[in-house]
Amino acid sequence: GAVVSQHPSWVICKSGTSVKIECRSLDFQATTMFWYRQFPKQSLMLMATSNEGSKATYEQGVEKDKFLINHASLTLSTLTVTSAHPEDSSFYICSARWGLQETQYFGPGTRLLVL
């Protein structure tokens, strides 16, 4: 099956620093990658959709200058949380698909804790 990896799986940082999370599709070319955030006991919240080589599309209420997304290749997308604050602490999950009508496959997620 399709495999998506994320790195790091855990990150703890100080308030005000920036954190970069990588999402890779290991055995397919991902034309589209998605970034989600999930707070404890809450449902998935889509943050943004990124297509390779173009700017990400952010969902309403998500600050694009705070959550920088780069999808530079068909196998790699990055999410950078800039000037992180404790309220950004969450579970960040990426997913990827290789075609418009195809299934989304999820990475294992990254837990971010901002102190």
Partner 1 sequence: QKEVEQNSGPLSVPEGAIASLNCTYSDRGSQSFFWYRQYSGKSPELIMFIYSNGDKEDGRFTAQLNKASQYVSLLIRDSQPSDSATYLCAAMDSNYQLIWGAGTKLIIKP
Interface residues with partner 1 (CB under 8 A) are 43-44, 46, 49, 93, 100-101, 103-109
Min dist. Cβ of residue 61 to partner 1 (A): 15
The nearer residue to partner 1, 60 or 65, going by C-beta atoms, is 60
Tell me which residue of 8, 15, 20 sits closest to 107, measured CA to CA.
8
The nearer residue to partner 1, 87 or 101, going by C-beta atoms, is 101
Min dist. Cβ of residue 83 to partner 1 (A): 26
Residues 6+ apart with CB under 8 A from 72: 52, 53, 78
The nearer residue to partner 1, 14 or 41, going by C-beta atoms, is 41
Min dist. Cβ of residue 20 to partner 1 (A): 19
8 A C-beta contact, residue 53 and residue 114: no
What number of other Cβ atoms are within 10 A of residue 2's Cβ?
A: 17
- Residue 63 token pair: 């600050």
